Amino acid sequence: MIRSVSALVLDGLAVFEFGVICEVFGIDRSADGVPNFDFKVCGPEPGKPVRTSIGATLTPDHGLDALIGADLVAIPAIAGTDYLPEALAAVRTAADAGSIILTVCSGAFLAGAAGLLDGRPCTTHWMHADELARMYPTARVDRNVLFVDDGNLITSAGTAAGIDACLHLVRRELGSEVTNKIARRMVVPPQRDGGQRQFIDQPIPVRCSDGFAPHLDWIIGNLDKPHTVGTLAKRAAMSTRTFARRFVEETGTTPMQWITDQRVLYARRLLEETDLDIDWIAGQAGFGTATLLRHHFRRVIGVTPSDYRRRFACGTGESVCDDGEAVASA
């Protein structure tokens, strides 16, 4: 059970991600039946301000030694990767002593620098996932999820995914009733479905050669038509085998997988920008039926077309388009 929580703050602290940790663990909600946490804000030197990523300063009341022995050590996003050695040592010591380590967004990089990601599943914001995998090659970075629970290490994706990770940990340690009370006060769902895939911009591949690009352009312009490798190869004046080999070389995937992905992306745009019926969208995107659209859409994006439309539709129904993460029902 979590009773004590220590949040680490260093120069470059991201205010929102730190605020998420404070909101879940630092507010007295005993009047609602939520147990109080012994919450400490810990920095390199008590009483000495650290500079946040927006230029304002924040003054911790406790030093790095207060990380050690806490039930939970929470690490918000902190700009840069040149961390204080004494901060890394304190996080390592806390983990070795049995603390749960929770990171929000790029806080995973600090955990990696402390040696806590080696050989373990983890995540971070999708924009930084490749860099995290490059810097810590033994870490098993999952780019698609909102958070990863690996026992005493919980890592979360970008920004609001930190809320999901914090509430998940509360649910795991204190139960659903406490989690629901905190979530209700925060006006957020106690648990979201889907993952980062629904927030990632997935552009059409552009690395193909000039000679092959027209074939891809034609397919994109005719997604509603039925396609096979054979018919596409014939249109490109190649043998089926040669076309399939060239396609993989040019795009990194098979022809039919690439077409399916482009159909999903086209359907996603129609869901965002129109109020057209999902059956009609399925036909226009080349899936034929809403059932087939739902199957492939959920596989690629992580949620159903209807759920996606509720979150991201621009100017349709009661939805709004705000270019941010959805505040809707990981």
- Domain 4-192: which CATH number of 3.40.50.880, 3.40.640.10, 1.20.1250.20, 3.40.50.300: 3.40.50.880
Cβ pair 39, 25 in contact under 8 A:
yes
Buried b (16+ CB within 10 A) or exposed e, 184-194: eebebbbbbeb
8 Å CB contact between 113 and 81: yes
Pairing of strands 140-141, 121-122: parallel
User: Which burial class, exposed, middle or buried, applies to 265 when counting CB atoms under 10 A from its CB (0-12, 13-18, 19+)?
Assistant: buried
Query: Which residues have CB under 8 Å from 177's CB, separation 6+?
Result: 33
For 155-193, the DSSP string reads EE-STTHHHHHHHHHHHHHH-HHHHHHHHHHHTS-SS--
Residues across the chain: 330
The C-alpha atoms of residue 270 and residue 275 are separated, in whole angstroms, by 8
Domain boundary assignment for the chain: 4-192, 213-312
Q: Report mean pLDDT in 10-residue bins for the chain, 330 residues.
A: 96 96 95 94 97 95 97 96 95 97 96 96 92 95 87 90 90 85 80 53 54 87 93 94 91 89 88 88 93 90 85 50 31
What phi, psi does 102 have (nearest 5°)? -120, 130
Q: What is the rounded CA–CA span in Å between residue 125 and residue 201?
A: 13
> What pLDDT score does 314 carry?
61
Paired with 7 in beta bridges are 41, 74
CATH of the domain spanning 213-312: 1.10.10.60
* Structure confidence at residue 193 (pLDDT): 56
pTM (2 d.p.):
0.65
SS3 helix, strand, coil % of the chain, rounded to 5?
Answer: 45, 10, 45
